[in-house]
Amino acid sequence: MREGLRLILSRQADMEVVGEAGNGREAIELVNEKMPDVVVMDIGMPELNGIEATHVIRNSHLTTRVLALSAMCDRRYVVRILEAGASGYVVKSSAGDELVRAIQAVAKGRKFLSAEVADAIIDSYLGNLPATKSSLSLLATREREVLQYLAEGYSSKEIGAKLNISSRTVETHRSNIMSKLDLHSIAELTKFAIREGLVQIDT
């Protein structure tokens, strides 16, 4: 997918691909290094998902625009990444010429939504879908990071090493997460993380 997108974008006279990242943390590091005008952000990435990465990037680099890319147009994912600061949302099935137009739009400070995404947003405002607030709002940023790692199968020791905190601190975060969400096992945490878009499974 990345190779195909890079090929499409590299053919555009007004665009230059300055970097690629395999996960959200790499994306943040590359943005800090390259300072791109636009970041095409996949939502379903390991270690740090695209929603959390977008939040960090937009808080640190106000002039860098983020364009979300996902295989899904679920309203929950759309709303969450737009709230995190993304300027647009393109579904992978519509990538190609639409992605080029979307990048050009957000680079100029405009918004862009794929037709399927716009329909989902409109439906939610018309009341066809409940506009309930995600339980993720109960968690602090660090707790969401720990939750994603737990759902991806990392141990407390591994998570501690990645986040530069102790295993005991990770266990404390896990206990707080379970308490706030009223969940009682790693399996329940994993199901919750998948449902809320923190991690995605291959289909």
pLDDT of 150-192, one tens digit each? 999 999 999 999 999 999 999 999 999 999 999 999 999 999 9
Structural domain spans, the chain:
2-125, 135-195
pLDDT of 111-155, one tens digit each? 999 888 887 777 666 665 555 567 888 899 899 999 999 999 999
Q: Which of 168, 173, 178, 166 is nearest to 142 (CA)?
A: 173
pLDDT at 203: 47
What DSSP designation does 153 have?
Answer: T
CA atoms within 13 A on the CB side of 88: 28
Q: What is the CATH number of domain 135-195?
A: 1.10.10.10
What gap in Å lies between CA 55 and CA 31, rounded to an integer? 13
pLDDT at 181: 92
Are 23 and 29 spatial neighbours (Cβ–Cβ below 8 Å)? Answer: no
Candidate ranges 3-7, 27-31, 111-115; pick with highest mean pLDDT: 27-31
pLDDT of 38-78, one tens digit each? 999 999 888 899 999 999 999 999 999 999 998 887 788 88
CATH for 2-125 (3.40.640.10, 3.30.70.120, 3.30.1370.60, 3.40.50.2300): 3.40.50.2300
pLDDT at 45: 87
Q: How confident is the model at residue 198 (pLDDT cuts 50, 70, 90)?
A: confident
pLDDT at 74: 78
Burial 167-184 (b: 16+ CB within 10 A, else e): eebbeebbebbbeebebe
pLDDT at 175: 95
